[in-house]
Amino acid sequence: MGHGGDVITELTTDHREVEELFTRITELPSGDPERKRLADQVTMELVRHSVAEEEYLYPAVREHLAGGDALADKELEDHASAERTMKELEGCKADDPRFDALVTQLMAEIREHVADEEANLLPRLREACPQETLEELGEKVRHAKKTAPTRPHPAAPDKPPANKLLAPGTGMIDRLRDALTGRGKHG
């Protein structure tokens, strides 16, 4: 993740990448260990994406859109729900009886969130913000994804300033754990 372009292009490209991973998971038979590796990869991508949205996109929504506070709060609720699902999924192996149900639940949550964001929030933001602002937000989001956590932390703050202060340190610890365990590495 880190594609270039304005914030809307960056985030919608992330959405497509996650959907591609979901498709790869569903094409594999239940219990296949590759499903777990792909689910970990989805989680890593979604957590980085969510943290970047929470740090930069939702504050911009609050600032630039009428009713932005309510919109941003709804998005944060969606993130919290998906993060709880990812946390449960993190503790399951591919052959765990809960694994398939949790993957299905996560896919439904993310697909609903993405559909709403792309049909409602992002078009409104494009209309309300100058292109220069959208480009700056794209750069900030790309930078945030580089230092963001890679594991779900449902209890972590999701609003500035606390999220911006804690995310880089948590991200560093997560990336160290990932490196030590090989989590997220391609088969």
CATH number of the domain bearing residue 55: 1.20.120
Asked if residue 91 is part of any domain, the answer here is yes
pTM of the complete model? 0.85
Range of the domain at 57: 7-181
Q: What is the tens place of the pLDDT at every residue in 131-183?
A: 999 999 999 999 989 887 777 666 555 565 555 545 555 655 665 565 565 76
Instruction: State the amino acid at position 62 in one-letter form.
Output: R
Asked if residue 2 is part of any domain, the answer here is no
- Distance, in Å, from the CA atom of 143 to the CA atom of 186, rounded to the nearest integer, reads 23
Asked if residue 173 is part of any domain, the answer here is yes
- Distance, in Å, from the CA atom of 27 to the CA atom of 10, rounded to the nearest integer, reads 26
Q: What is the tens place of the pLDDT at every residue in 70-128?
A: 999 999 999 889 999 999 999 999 999 999 999 999 999 999 999 999 999 999 999 99
Q: How many domains does the chain have?
A: 1
Element housing 44 (H / E): helix 33-52
Asked if residue 187 is part of any domain, the answer here is no
User: Contact at 8 Å (CB) between 148 and 52?
Assistant: yes
Asked if residue 86 is part of any domain, the answer here is yes
In the three-class reduction of DSSP (H, G, I as helix; E, B as strand; rest coil), residue 125 is classed as helix
User: Contact at 8 Å (CB) between 114 and 79?
Assistant: no
